[in-house]
Amino acid sequence: MDFAELNERLKQARLESYCRVRGGWPVPLAGGTYWAVLTLLGYTVSDEDWSWMAAMLSGSIFPIALLYGALFRNPFMKEKMPDQGVVFMAMAGMLMFWPAAILAMGANNDLVPLMLAIGMSTHWPVFGWSYGRPVPFLVHMIARGVLVTVIWVALPEARFTLLPLSVALIYLATVIALYVDSGEFRSRIQPA
């Protein structure tokens, strides 16, 4: 088997995984839930408390994703993908924004929502690549980065409210897009 054939087989296997787990939509739904909670916290707690709560609650995203997967019978974690190791490496790389975010809590807390919104999206292109469908994942990251930056600059009073709400809404749009896109691919290919 030559490199081109191997590459094509890997891409086919990635797309089949993408179809079987419907784009892995429980994970972005959990992310959207996290950001919706942060929106509510933005109206009810101090900005400093918001930042610490956002840091602590971020650990709930994965368990919430597992819960959504179980509730909706989408066992995304049981899916064996050809290049699964790269996903874990992308997650490890994404986590490296946390030291800067934690330091910002003491130096300039207003930066924290922006840093979380952008920093917690850096693994998205790799997830998309691992499924053989990078575009929807890239669109999520780019839209998120642009929108939160605009809100952070133009509406400083909304950094802890509208900014997290915008991320939650982008997540919701992404869940819909992944579900629809994976359904279209599912009808075009015959997953194993």
Phi, psi of 45 (to 5 degrees): -125, 165
pLDDT at position 80, please?
A: 78
List, for the chain, all residue ranges whose pLDDT scores fall below the cut of 50.
191
pLDDT at position 191, please?
A: 47
pLDDT at position 57, please?
A: 98
pLDDT at position 81, please?
A: 72
pLDDT at position 13, please?
A: 87
pLDDT at position 185, please?
A: 81
Give start and end residues of each alpha helix (H) in the chain: 3-20, 26-44, 47-57, 61-71, 84-94, 98-107, 112-119, 124-130, 134-154, 162-188
pLDDT at position 190, please?
A: 59
Q: Is 187 helix (H, G, I), strand (E, B) or coil?
A: helix
pLDDT at position 150, please?
A: 98
| pTM score, whole prediction | 0.92
pLDDT at position 10, please?
A: 87
